[in-house]
Structure 1
Amino acid sequence: MILRDEEQARAYVADFVDAAGMERLDRLEALLREENERQNLIAAATLQTVWLRHVADSAQLLSYVPRETEDPGAWLDLGTGAGFPGLVIAAMRPHWDVRLIESRRKRTDWLERARIDLGLGRCQVVASRLEMVATVEAGVISARAFAPMPKLIDLSARFSTNRTLWLLPKGRSAAQDLASLPESTRRLFHVEQSCTDTEAGIIVGRLDLAGHRGPKQTPGSKRG
């Protein structure tokens, strides 16, 4: 099913959370609108469709995680920016270890304020370039418009084990981006249809890249 409007988007998201979760997401929307007047977190044209373009678009990643999952392990959201998808996931699953990795100071300041306001004690804002983040075993790796697939794999492989689920919303470039990978890596991923855009896709994979030789990492500081 492709969601068409804000009403459908809200109903879709509500199927994943309880009333308290919807309240947190409503609060997140309010905070986002307020902050967007100070810095350009999202395009002004999408302010009328926040639930469709941003909240539901992020929430749909939960459909790839079994509902009975109590703890998927560390969820690393790379290049979180305005908080999509990572902050939405944290608001919907406040008991999960969600780490929002973002290097831009204005963005990390906003993410930290939002995290505190929403009472997300297990969520962490990691104010650092990904290359400087200490290696951890990720349960989930997500990234929305963070980098082309070859670079994303190169930077992120050290966080991945054979249990790591990769969820990469790639919009309308999903198939093209996946095709840019070597065949040996490409075959470990596939493209799923996004529920928010008939032409958009999500690259999904579960693979062990721990032995991949990516950039040398330096332990970085975590904030949050």
Structure 2
Amino acid sequence: MGSEQLSELHEALGESQRLGFFGDRPISEVIEHATSFARALDGLERSDGLPVEVVDLGSGGGIPGLVIAYMRPDFDVTLIDRRTKRTDFLHRVVMRLGWSERITILSQDVSVLVASDPRRFDAVVARGFGPPAETLEVASELVRAGGRAVISEPPAGDRWSSEMLTTLGFDRLSMTDRVVCFERV
């Protein structure tokens, strides 16, 4: 992926921000934070040789899903958001970037995906999706054994009790750059 695609991605995220799909932090900082999600997926691969499948819960304006797609062209990414205005925007961006063969966009509530396709994904990522327990519970329904859940973490405090992790079937792998990574056991 070249600098031209990075420039197009930067432009698309700027448009997403202007539409109010995420806050007013500088786009370079937004991208830097999203790269933490992609780095947390390093080393994740499938034994069958197929592309790693990642789902971005509550994709909104495409963070972190679009950045993961940019950094990991070998991954298939599903962006899901229940707000049609946002998924329509994501469709336009994905077409413009030429990524439609490896990015799926779903305009539906996550509960529909959980009911129709449980344990399908190798990784679940979430930035601002919901309360910690709810986010990890949804991730536990979508990620297969050995897969990862990567969730944004606020700058202060730990929100993940060992009881919650055990109940939902996760081990904590790491926490860096305001994201926490769990492995499904």
Give TM class, smaller chain.
0.7 to 0.9
Mapping 1:64-143, distance limit 5 Å: 64-66=40-42, 69=45, 73-120=52-99, 121-133=101-113, 134-136=116-118, 137-143=120-126
Whether the 8 Å contact between 1:97 and 1:122 is mirrored in structure 2 is yes
Aligned to 1:83, the other structure's residue is in SS state coil
The CA deviation at 1:189 is: 1.8
**Aligned match for 1:176, one of 144, 147, 158:** 158
Q: Which stretch of the first structure deviates more once superposed, 108-117 or 64-73?
A: 64-73
The CA deviation at 1:157 is: 1.9
**Aligned match for 2:6, one of 15, 25, 33:** 25
Inter-CA distance 192–183: structure 2 relative to 1 (3 Å threshold): closer
Inter-CA distance 40–139: structure 2 relative to 1 (3 Å threshold): same
**Separation (CA, whole Å) in 1 of partners of 2:122 and 2:163:** 22
The CA deviation at 1:36 is: 3.8
**Separation (CA, whole Å) in 2 of partners of 1:68 and 1:170:** 21
Aligned residue identity for 1:50:
I
Relative to its length, the structure with more strand (as a share) is 2
Whether the 8 Å contact between 2:151 and 2:181 is mirrored in structure 1 is yes
Whether the 8 Å contact between 2:53 and 2:77 is mirrored in structure 1 is yes
Whether the 8 Å contact between 2:91 and 2:105 is mirrored in structure 1 is yes
Q: TM-score, normalised by structure 2?
A: 0.82
Inter-CA distance 82–180: structure 2 relative to 1 (3 Å threshold): farther
The CA deviation at 1:159 is: 1.4
Which one has the largest radius of gyration?
A: 1
Structure 1: runs of 5 or more not aligned = 1-17, 195-200, 209-224
**Separation (CA, whole Å) in 1 of partners of 2:76 and 2:67:** 13
| 1:3-31 deviation digits (Å, cap 9, x = unpaired) | xxxxxxxxxxxxxxx5x2x3222102112
- Is 1:205 the counterpart of 2:173? The answer is no
The CA deviation at 1:75 is: 0.2
**Separation (CA, whole Å) in 1 of partners of 2:57 and 2:80:** 5
Whether the 8 Å contact between 2:153 and 2:179 is mirrored in structure 1 is yes
Aligned residue identity for 1:161:
R
Aligned residue identity for 1:152:
T
The CA deviation at 1:33 is: 2.3
Percent of residue pairs identical:
23
Equivalent residues, number:
177
Structure 2 residue aligned with 1:189: 172
Structure 2: runs of 5 or more not aligned = none
**Separation (CA, whole Å) in 2 of partners of 1:68 and 1:150:** 24
Aligned residue identity for 2:123:
V
Structure 2 residue aligned with 1:59: 35
Inter-CA distance 190–60: structure 2 relative to 1 (3 Å threshold): same
